[in-house]
Chain A
Amino acid sequence: MANAASGMAVHDDCKLKFLELKAKRTYRFIVYKIEEQQKQVVVEKLGEPGQSHDDFAASLPVDECRYAIFDFDFVTAENCQKSKIFFVAWSPDTARVRSKMIYASSKDRFKRELDGIQVELQATDPTEMDLDIFKSRAN
């Protein structure tokens, strides 16, 4: 299953957890990490539906890259409750260049594995992942 420009495989669990989030709404967010030794993308953290955007922001490390899926609930202008699935490529300025390179080159392949992402977001510092940004991208 090693099949990317950077040679990273995607662990089956990643796709399974994502499908669970999409169909049954069992998680608020999923954080994925690339394990360099095993050359795989694995699930690092899962967020309960009750958790919020702040918990999500807190679960991302300050100086390491990650991929994340966030299920964002909002109310539209016509007063309907909607939700969109965001893919966040977390790549902080303070991370090592090697880390950023690996995550950047594997991102496309990884995204293709997860069918149903509605919005993609790249964040290089906490302000770019702010709730306001989510709200503006949701519309």
Chain B
Amino acid sequence: MTLAETYACIPSTERGRGILISGDSKSDTILYTNARSVVILDLNNPLKVSIYGEHAYPATVARYSPNGEWIASGDVSGTVRIWGARDDHVLKKEFKVLAGRIDDLQWSDDGMRIVASGDGKGKSLVRAFMWDSGSNVGEFDGHSRRVLSCAIKPTRPFRIVTCGEDFLVNFYEGPPFKFKLSSREHSNFVNCVRYSPDGSKFITVSSDKKGIIYDGKTCEKLGQLSSEDGHKGSIYAVSWSPDGKEVLTVSADKSAKIWEISDSGNGTLKITLTCPGSSGGVDDMLVGCLWQNDHIVTVSLGGTISIFSASDLEKSPFQFSGHMKNISSLSVLRGNSDYILSGSYDGLICKWMMGRGFCGKLQRKQNSQIKCFAAHEVEIITSGFDNTISRISYQDGQVTNEESVGVGNQPNDLSLAPLSPGLLLVTFESGVVFLRGEKVVSTINLGFTVTALAVTPDGTEAIVGGQDGKLRLYSVNGDSLNEEAVLEKHRGAISVIRYSPDLSMFASADLNREAVVWDRASREMKLKNMLYHSARINCLAWSPNSTMVATGSLDTCVIVYEVDKPASTRMTIKGAHLGGVYGLGFADDTHVVSSGEDACIRVWSLTT
């Protein structure tokens, strides 16, 4: 089993704060973080992604060393990990640097020292240390509140500049670094400070919409970004061009601006870039930027990454996005082109295509949270936490109609019978609700706690799984259910039931990490001992030719069994998704698609 493609998660963003992304110009990759993962994305091929998941706490910032060999990443607990940039990402060292979260991290140009800044108590808001021994190389007092950004002068004589929420920009000389002077030119949070590549100047940007340029050696103010055509919102991040003559700034006013910096230190606007296809909402606020080689990368609050070409600024940027949170469900739609639809619990539904990656987000009327999700050809059904079911009609990648139906109880599973048109069965804690079209036709109380459901595509038979581990088969008569059989085998609450595509079998999985394949006609167990997971099974999928079953579990593994062979001849993918596998589907008979808590989707190839 090999990994064929990864559709990466997007950087986690927070309203009101910028994010700092960095990259390596030699390998043309960028680094960003999402929850506990650090993502290394190749700008020329966004499907080539490498993810480092060894942080115990959500990671906040990551940076390549100047020689491109190591990556230092910091997290919310104040720990900095230094690990190899290639292959297995071997850990070199781990240091507990600050008492609170790390907001920015920079290597010195010789790769020997690292300065980290962030939140903490009193003294430990900024620390600079040797990369291999962790010994301190200076004392950094002068800040009283969270230090949002720091920068080291790349050329000798070395200087460190830090800036933060106390509106101050502090300047330190060294090594060993000591406080030199402080500048209070800004009237709001100073969000980012960056040195030009030749070290002659540095620029600070702030939530007061100003950008101020200083001399790199003496920290004297040289000039500022011109205020005509300036940003109309907080400026969250700044990045110098590789030649040091221009800077890129991004702001909450949803635009990115490129400024020319003259030698005297004044900045004049060269061009304003806006991202096309914006819906005009808060999600378009730009929170992060990076200028690397020919690429200008901007990140929006909604997580869309836009890559502009620096040499051809008029060209439309290449945009892609993804999920920021746990992708709780996945569906493979087969039709003219095979789409993969993924739904995350924050209500975002994205479309992907194998070989291409991100194809678009589904614009919905209201982005209510999604707990259960089912998709078939032209219809998507979701349910959330508000006791309603949304039926979304979907044509050519666009939402054409969206209806919301109240069902009176919180749904915990749902199943669609596409051939019996409009029939949808939804389970809630003690029973089942029948829906035809947008009307609730009946609500049946079954008398036991229901946890899972499956219905045949023609709507004649349904299986309901309970908390007691029993599977009850019902035949569907009009709007009511007649109990046909009770199957006992599972020793835990049933989590998912699925019919095979040829309808001759069905498979069920429970919270006690066991899965069973049953023959539908005889109701006998066809394949058992599928006990190879070490934690609850979250999802289950059949291959289109009904010969294989895949199960995904909280233990991060995906196991594929062949129905005609004993369970021990399984294929296991270990560590498929950090945090657990929550969605599973077969793209075709040789490719499995899985999604999980790490907000990524991975396509695995079964043929070696």
Contact = CB atoms under 8 A, between A and B. Distances in A.
B17 to A, nearest CB: 47
A130 B491 contact: no
B4 interface: no
A131 B568 contact: yes
Interface in B514-552: 529, 531-532
A94 B567 CA distance: 19
Interface string B473-496: 000000000000000000100000
Nearest to A53: B568
Contacts of A94: 491
A93 B568 contact: no
Contacts of B568: 126-127, 130-132
A125 interface: yes
B491 A126 contact: no
Contacts of B491: 93-94
A54 B532 CA distance: 17
A132 B572 CA distance: 12
Contacts of B566: 54
Highest count of chain B CB atoms <10 Å: which of A54, A94, A130: A130
Contacts of A125: 529, 531
Interface string A48-79: 00000010000000000000000000000000
Interface in A77-119: 93-94
Highest count of chain A CB atoms <10 Å: which of B529, B566, B567, B568: B568
A79 B63 CA distance: 45
A54 B567 CA distance: 12
Nearest to B529: A126
Contacts of B531: 125-127
A126 B531 CA distance: 8
A97 B130 CA distance: 59
A129 B529 CA distance: 12
A131 B569 CA distance: 10
B319 to A, nearest CB: 45
Name the interface size band of chain B. under 10
Nearest to B531: A127
B459 to A, nearest CB: 36
A34 B567 CA distance: 30
B137 to A, nearest CB: 46
Contacts of A132: 568
A132 B566 CA distance: 14
A125 B567 CA distance: 13
Contacts of B532: 127
Contacts of B567: 127
B538 to A, nearest CB: 18
Highest count of chain B CB atoms <10 Å: which of A94, A127, A130: A127
Interface in B495-521: none
Nearest to A57: B568
B555 to A, nearest CB: 13
A40 B557 CA distance: 43
Contacts of A130: 568
A124 to B, nearest CB: 10
Nearest to A127: B531
Interface string B320-364: 000000000000000000000000000000000000000000000
A64 to B, nearest CB: 17
Interface string B579-596: 000000000000000000
A126 B568 CA distance: 9
Nearest to B534: A127
Nearest to A130: B568
A58 to B, nearest CB: 11
Interface in B558-572: 566-568
Contacts of A126: 529, 531, 568
A125 B491 CA distance: 13
B192 to A, nearest CB: 50
Contacts of A54: 566
A133 to B, nearest CB: 10
Contacts of A93: 491
A93 B532 CA distance: 14
A26 B532 CA distance: 33
B565 to A, nearest CB: 12
A94 B491 CA distance: 9
Contacts of A127: 529, 531-532, 567-568
Contacts of B529: 125-127
A130 B568 CA distance: 7
Nearest to A128: B531
A136 to B, nearest CB: 13
A97 B568 CA distance: 27
B208 to A, nearest CB: 61
A93 B531 CA distance: 12
Nearest to A124: B531
A132 B570 CA distance: 11
A127 B567 CA distance: 9
A42 to B, nearest CB: 28
Nearest to B528: A126
Given A126-B529, A130-B568, 5 more contacts: A94-B491, A126-B531, A126-B568, A127-B531, A132-B568
Q: 7 closest pairs, A vs B, by CB?
A: A127-B531, A126-B529, A127-B532, A125-B531, A130-B568, A127-B529, A131-B568
Interface of B: 491, 529, 531-532, 566-568
16 contacts: A54-B566, A93-B491, A94-B491, A125-B529, A125-B531, A126-B529, A126-B531, A126-B568, A127-B529, A127-B531, A127-B532, A127-B567, A127-B568, A130-B568, A131-B568, A132-B568
